[in-house]
Structure 1
Amino acid sequence: MPQATAESRRPIRVALSNDYEIALLGLAQMLARYPSKVQIVDLTTLAAVPHRADIILYDTFGRLPDNDIKLRKIVESNSAKVVVYSWEEYPEEAARRHGAVGYLHKGLSADELVAAVVAIHEDREPTAAPHTEEPDLTWPGQPFGLTQRESEMLTFITRGLTNDEIVRRSYLSINTVKSYIRSAYRKIGVRTRPQAVAWGYRNGFQSTDDVGL
């Protein structure tokens, strides 16, 4: 019995997953402030998480919801509960269709995010409502003044997707996609798609994904 009690009191082991480790740094910093509740065991780009985890928090930066092979691979390759951490552009319905057991919005404060992770671990429904403010995260392109969504568009372009492919697979309208791309181009000082791809390769926008977009 004492062993069971110690097990129940230990922090929840959380692995953070994305194609870009830099996209996970801000999230890790948020969670690290709650060592009695959560323990970060991995920041990984791999489908199979290297260390034992209770929860895998899957950041959707640079991912498209329509056919997310990597999310399905993560669900299949691990015994931990897989929880998607995203904006509205990656809908909860898509996350659950790919096998995620939970869905958390990136507008959650650090307190709310940790409370939600604890609830999911305990098989309870999270009660925190999403905030409209973006949390203090880190993502590729941030030092260049790019928003997370603009950076995501550049990851898709660097991977070779056309605007129509992004539209079909992302639940976004063509006008929204073009708007993000235009503003991203202005910020990085390019005019054409080949220039944007070259910029992406020079600035670390190559995906580490080995299971397909």
Structure 2
Amino acid sequence: MPDPSSPAPIRVAVVNDHEVVVAGVAAMLAGDDRVRVVELASRVPVLSEVDVVLYDLYARARVAEQQAGRLISSLSVPVVLFGWQLDDVLVEEALSAGARGCVPKSATAAELVDVLTRVHAGEVVVRLEAVAEESADDHGEERALPGSRQLQWPGKAEGLSARESEIIALITQGLTNEDIAARAHLSINSVKTYIRTSYRKMGVERRSQAVLWGVQHGFAPEAARRIG
């Protein structure tokens, strides 16, 4: 039975372009009575009355020129950004746009909830520690970032790492290798390595096959909302 003296849980909306991504973040938060996910929104405005919006940066590079910047400026509640690559430039863009928090996906569920709680209390919280680029070894295989087992992303069941998944999502959206390198702040050789290892896991050889595979496996952005 809930303790009537305990504070009410913080109401959180999780937002991203991909329904499977927001569902994975919501699952990560489940079980902590300090927060309650009341809405999952992909490519649609947040409708519920919430205290904090958690914006997942999956397959997104910067803030200023993308949906995250528009979302932050349009909401009257604090926004926390959640992503693999939180460098100084992205954080500066986010805070300038009005974000109140930035937290890496290497954070544990408890650490993420702690950030949401502090932001809700009025703090600006930026965590950058333990964020490292996934690296390919001599065999082209990637090591997942610490804590990545807590999250879900398109293609995870088929063996794609989080970074490979984001690259395939960008390919599915029609970006060239040069576009992906610029957007994800990677070298063109790194992009090609991620594509090569991803294609092997996906069982495809050509870009057209990769796009079709991506559409069939949830990589195309979709509009969806779940409330409650």
TM-score, length of structure 2 as denominator length: 0.80
Aligned Cα RMSD in Å? Answer: 2.4
Q: Answer whether contact 2:10 2:117 (CA < 8 A) is retained.
A: yes
Tell me: CA distance 1:67–1:129, structure 2 relative to 1, closer, same or farther (3 Å). Answer: closer
Task: Give the drift of 1:109.
Answer: 1.0
Determine which of 16, 19, 38 is the counterpart of 1:18. Answer: 16
Aligned positions of 1:109-188 closer than 5 A: 109-126=108-125, 130-131=129-130, 133-135=146-148, 136-188=150-202
Question: TM-score normalized by structure 1?
Answer: 0.85
| Structure 1 residue ranges, 4+ long, deviating more than 3 angstroms after superposition | 125-132
1:1-213, aligned counterparts within 5 Å? 9-35=7-33, 37-65=34-62, 67-88=64-85, 91-126=90-125, 130-131=129-130, 133-135=146-148, 136-208=150-222
Question: Are the aligned partners of 2:79 and 2:100 in contact in 1 as well (CA < 8 Å)?
Answer: yes
Which residues of structure 1 form unaligned runs of 5+?
1-5
**Would the aligned equivalents of 1:14 and 1:41 in 2 still touch at CA under 8 Å?**
yes
Superposed CA offset, 1:144-178 (max 9, x none): 10011111111100110001111122222212211
- Rounded Cα–Cα distance in structure 2 between residues aligned with 1:129 and 1:93: 12
Checking the alignment, whether the CA contact within 8 Å between 2:73 and 2:97 is kept in structure 1 is no
Number of equivalences: 203
Identical-residue share of aligned pairs (%): 39
Instruction: Tell me which amino acid in the other structure corresponds to 2:119.
Output: I
Q: CA deviation at 1:184?
A: 0.6
CA shift, 1:126, in A, is 4.1
Give the drift of 1:97: 4.2
Shift of 1:88: 1.8
CA separation in 1, counterparts of 2:174 and 2:218?
15
Query: 1:49 offset after TM fit, Å?
Result: 0.5
The whole-number CA distance in structure 2 between the counterparts of 1:110 and 1:175 is 33
Deviation at 1:30, TM superposition (A): 2.1
Determine if contact 1:68/1:98 at 8 Å carries over to the other structure.
Answer: no
Shift of residue 96, structure 1, vs aligned partner: 2.8
